């Protein structure tokens, strides 16, 4: 198939300034931009609200957004998402979901959100190791390395938390599988460390057995990485295991809607992945 004939999709996207403090623009404008760019379907997967004030992101703390405000926003997000899904159903298929966390207390919290809001699906992501939000900034990442007792222990803790999260939450999609490499220039070496490789293989086997989908997260390019999450050696393992991989733009505003989608699609196509993208839900709405 010519790359231009392959459907544009995003299995992890649509963070908006309307509902996320570190994103920009309104959700409806973001949906309109996906339509304008010719996307066939998009999973809108906003971050969840925290279970209490201690688990807020640093920027939410700095701006005094409390847990009741953030919870209220999330409720409005789910409502708005479902409205937009109906409003634009003739132009684009939207799935309305959310992206998880793994901080202390997440299991009961996420399960109760899923129960209350009935999302189309969840993106299972890890942004914390031992309650440190390592992807927030290089300095927070450095704190996480110190707390873990080194970079390899940090990677190990990350992949162990991911394994637990997959078992506990059973998300349909695994977000940015190797995002722990974010601020680590020597990630190639660290991902191939035997202790880490073992964990990666274990997590991928679980993902394969549960028929989950991996987010091919294009936002890595925007943040200056040489390659998306998943990195190339992991991608090759994934292909040999037959796990579906689907592009996710992880957009956080109009300027990142669909960014690098063509580049991502041609990379997956050149590596021999199935480009009849698997959807995160079984039946089409
Ligand atoms: Zn975000
Ligand atoms: Zn994420």
C-alpha 219 – ligand 2 centre gap (Å): 10
Q: Report if residue 28 sits inside a domain.
A: yes
Mean pLDDT for 72-97 is: 98
Please report, for the chain, how many H helices and E strands are present, in that order.
11, 7
- Identify which ligand lies nearest to the alpha carbon of 19: 1
Beta bridge partners of 188: none
21-49 residue pLDDT tens: 999 999 999 999 999 999 999 999 999 99
Q: Give residue 284's pLDDT.
A: 47
Q: Report if residue 281 sits inside a domain.
A: no
pLDDT at 238 over 60: yes
Q: Give residue 1's pLDDT.
A: 74
C-alpha 10 – ligand 2 centre gap (Å): 14
Q: Report if residue 3 sits inside a domain.
A: no
| CA neighbor of 85 nearest in space, from 126, 120, 58, 55 | 120
C-alpha 169 – ligand 2 centre gap (Å): 16
C-alpha 2 – ligand 2 centre gap (Å): 30
pLDDT at 190 over 60: yes
Residue 221's CATH number: 3.20.20.140
Q: In which domain, by residue range, is 13 found?
A: 8-270
pLDDT at 95 over 70: yes
The model's pTM is: 0.96
Q: Report if residue 276 sits inside a domain.
A: no
- Identify which ligand lies nearest to the alpha carbon of 15: 1
Q: Report if residue 40 sits inside a domain.
A: yes
When comparing pLDDT for 82 and 3, which is higher? 82
| Rounded Cα distance, 112 and 236, in Å | 36
When comparing pLDDT for 88 and 282, which is higher? 88
Q: Give residue 2's pLDDT.
A: 73
Ion ligand 1 neighbours, Cβ < 5 Å: 15
C-alpha 1 – ligand 2 centre gap (Å): 31
SS3 72: helix
Q: Report if residue 109 sits inside a domain.
A: yes
- Name, in order, each residue with C-beta under 8 angstroms of 189's C-beta and a sequence gap of 6 or more: none
C-alpha 15 – ligand 1 centre gap (Å): 6
C-alpha 183 – ligand 1 centre gap (Å): 16
56-76 residue pLDDT tens: 999 999 999 999 999 999 999
Q: What is the DSSP string of 124-191?
A: E----BTTB-TTS-HHHHHHHHHHHTSHHHHHHHHHHHHHHHHHHH--SEE-STTGGGTT-TTHHHHH
Q: Give residue 283's pLDDT.
A: 56
105-141 residue pLDDT tens: 999 999 999 999 999 999 999 999 999 999 999 999 9
What confidence tier does 5 reach under pLDDT thresholds 50, 70, 90? confident
Q: Report if residue 277 sits inside a domain.
A: no
- Identify which ligand lies nearest to the alpha carbon of 47: 1
pLDDT at 160 over 90: yes
Q: Report if residue 284 sits inside a domain.
A: no
C-alpha 90 – ligand 2 centre gap (Å): 29
C-alpha 1 – ligand 1 centre gap (Å): 33
Share of the chain above pLDDT 90, in %: 96
C-alpha 13 – ligand 2 centre gap (Å): 10
Q: In the numeric block, which tokens belong to residue 11?
A: 């299995």
| Rounded Cα distance, 199 and 26, in Å | 39
Mean pLDDT for 233-259 is: 97
Distance (Å) of CA 212 to CA 126, 208, 282: 16, 6, 12
Average pLDDT value over all residues in the chain: 96
| Rounded Cα distance, 208 and 220, in Å | 24
C-alpha 72 – ligand 1 centre gap (Å): 18
C-alpha 209 – ligand 2 centre gap (Å): 23
Give the total number of structural domains in the chain.
Answer: 1
Q: Give residue 282's pLDDT.
A: 75
SS3 223: coil
């Amino acid at each position: 198939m010519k790359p231009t004939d392959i459907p544009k999709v995003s299995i992890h996207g649509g963070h908006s300034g309307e509902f996320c403090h570190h994103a920009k623009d309104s959700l409806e404008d973001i949906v309109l931009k996906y339509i304008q760019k010719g996307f066939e379907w998009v999973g809108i997967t906003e971050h969840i609200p925290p279970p209490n004030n201690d688990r807020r992101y640093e920027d939410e703390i700095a701006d005094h957004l409390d847990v009741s405000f953030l919870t209220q926003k999330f409720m409005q997000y789910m409502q708005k998402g479902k409205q937009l899904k109906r409003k634009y159903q003739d132009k684009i298929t939207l799935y309305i979901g959310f992206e998880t966390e793994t901080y202390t207390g997440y299991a009961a919290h996420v399960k109760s959100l899923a129960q209350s809001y009935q999302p189309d699906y969840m993106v299972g992501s890890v942004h914390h190791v031992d309650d440190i939000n390592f992807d927030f900034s290089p300095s927070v990442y450095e704190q996480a390395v110190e707390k873990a007792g080194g970079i390899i222990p940090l990677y190990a803790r990350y992949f162990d938390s991911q394994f637990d999260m997959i078992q506990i939450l059973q998300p349909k999609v695994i977000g940015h599988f190797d995002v722990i490499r974010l601020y680590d220039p020597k990630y190639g070496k660290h991902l191939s460390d035997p202790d880490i490789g073992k964990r990666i293989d274990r997590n991928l086997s679980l993902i394969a057995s549960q028929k989950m989908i991996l987010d091919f997260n294009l936002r890595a390019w925007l943040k200056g990485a040489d390659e998306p999450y998943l990195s190339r050696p992991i991608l090759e393992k994934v292909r040999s295991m037959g796990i579906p991989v689907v592009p996710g733009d992880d957009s956080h505003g109009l300027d990142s809607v669909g960014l690098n989608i063509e580049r991502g699609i041609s990379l997956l196509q050149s590596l021999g992945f199935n480009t009849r993208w698997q959807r995160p839900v079984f039946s089409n709405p």
